[in-house]
Amino acid sequence: MAPRKIIIDTDPGQDDAFAILFALGSPAEIEVVGITTVGGNVPLPLTSKNALKVVELAGRPDVPVYAGCPGPMVKTLMTAEYVHGKTGLDGADLPEPVTPLQSEHGVNYLVRAIMDAPEGELTVCTLGPMTNLAMAMTMEPRIIPRLREVVLMGGGFFEGGNATPAAEFNIFVDPHAAHKVFDSGVPLTMAGIDCTYTAMMTLEWLDRLRATGSRAAIEAANLADFYRQYGSHKFGTPGRPIHDACVTGYLLAPKIYEKRQCAVTVEIVSPETIGMTVVDWWHVTGRRKNCNVLRRIEPAPFFELMLQRISALP
Ligand code: RIB
Ligand code: CA
């Protein structure tokens, strides 16, 4: 089977870095044709620099990185330095990138790449606020039927939210973008916090990752050491959810996920619940089941696979 062609839209972010390294460590199954960056965890200049740092860490400076939108379609950008540090990639001492950003805007790249690719060939994996993809759909609606799938980290339902009681960060930062994508009719798979909270990195796993000796694995473990400092008030264990890597894991091993096709809408009106992904788990509305909702992951095979693939990098 030819590798699956994907574009990763991202706001690195330590967990974004894991997702990207996991994908680049799996060349037989995944071809990352491009990366677009968005303002999210930290402002766009930093998420863009961080994406370049990650592809260089992976030994893949050939993967083009395109800077996209600095902030959401309607709201004002809310960042998350409290989780990711002021650089957005605190924890690893990675050199300033020597690879330049592409000159083309990330939204223009998304439109061009999807229109130029054979119909149904490209998958877009969004790991941050969905601004770039929503803007691309607005600029050129013809990309919608041409996409194979959108696999996103975002949302949640049974676990509530991590940005507000109702909303997960990626969706909360740009709920209008998410609403557009969820309403577009594009085939969707959603890795919300219901799923990612079952993908908890452990200290033992991080020790094993570091012990592999690969520079990418060692730096990833260093990133995780910083990333897991946040959240002790939420999680009773030293483990932390490696949210975005669940997207890559799904592309590689969908069978280890509990999932269900559901109708999902994004709330954009109420000040209390804006950004909530309303998952019709029991199909009580009879609405179109627009989204493959990932509910749980089997952690053991997921982390074994991720360790194997990241440590395969130089
Ligand atoms: O809620 C978790 C998501 O928000 C992850 O994508 C993390 O990187 C942040 O962007
Ligand atoms: Ca992210």
CATH number at residue 112: 3.90.245.10
Going from the Cα of 172 to the center of ligand 2, the distance in angstroms, rounded, reads 12
Going from the Cα of 119 to the center of ligand 2, the distance in angstroms, rounded, reads 27
Distance of alpha carbon 191 from the chain centroid: 9
Does the model's pTM come out above 0.95?
yes
The whole-number pLDDT of residue 123 equals 99
The whole-number pLDDT of residue 214 equals 97
Looking at the 3D structure of the chain, how many domains does it have? 1
The DSSP annotation for 283-301 comes to --S-----EEEEEEE-HHH
Ligand 1 contacts CB of residue 168 (under 6 A): yes
Are the C-beta atoms of residues 37 and 10 closer than 8 Å to each other?
Answer: yes
d(CA 223, CA 84): 9
Ligand closest to the CA atom of residue 9: 2
Dihedral of the alpha carbons of 164, 167, 173, 177, in degrees to the nearest 10: -160
Ligand 1 contacts CB of residue 15 (under 6 A): yes
Ligand 1 contacts CB of residue 153 (under 6 A): yes
d(CA 170, CA 246): 14
The whole-number pLDDT of residue 141 equals 98
Mutate which of 16, 170, 230, 242 for ligand 1 pocket (most atoms within 8 A of beta carbon) = 170
Greatest alpha-carbon pair distance for the chain in Å reads: 53
The whole-number pLDDT of residue 233 equals 84
Contacts of 90-96 with CB under 8 Å at 24 or more apart are: 90/14, 90/223, 90/226, 91/14, 91/222, 91/223, 91/224, 91/225, 91/226, 91/227, 92/57, 92/219, 92/220, 92/222, 92/223, 92/226, 93/222, 94/53, 94/56, 94/57, 94/219, 95/53, 95/56, 96/49
Backbone angle region of 64, left / alpha / beta, with phi > 0 → left and psi within -120 to 50 → alpha: beta
Mutate which of 8, 9, 11 for ligand 1 pocket (most atoms within 8 A of beta carbon) = 11
Are the C-beta atoms of residues 90 and 117 closer than 8 Å to each other?
Answer: no
Give the helix/strand (H/E) hosting 153. Answer: strand 149-153
The whole-number pLDDT of residue 231 equals 85
236 contact partners, CB below 8 Å, separation of at least 6: none
Are the C-beta atoms of residues 129 and 39 closer than 8 Å to each other?
Answer: yes
The whole-number pLDDT of residue 232 equals 81
Ligand closest to the CA atom of residue 15: 1
Strand bridging mode 30-37 / 65-67: parallel
Please, what are the averages of pLDDT over each run of 10 residues along the chain (314 residues)? 97 98 98 99 98 98 99 98 96 97 99 98 99 99 98 98 98 98 98 98 97 98 94 85 98 98 98 98 98 98 98 97
The DSSP annotation for 48-112 comes to HHHHHHHHHHTT-TTS-EEE--SS-SSSPP---HHHH-SSSSTTS-PPPP-SPPPSS-HHHHHHH
Ligand 1 contacts CB of residue 128 (under 6 A): yes
Residues designated as active site = 243
d(CA 30, CA 19): 12
d(CA 257, CA 192): 12
Going from the Cα of 286 to the center of ligand 2, the distance in angstroms, rounded, reads 32
Mutate which of 10, 41, 47, 83 for ligand 1 pocket (most atoms within 8 A of beta carbon) = 41
Domain range holding 202?
A: 4-311
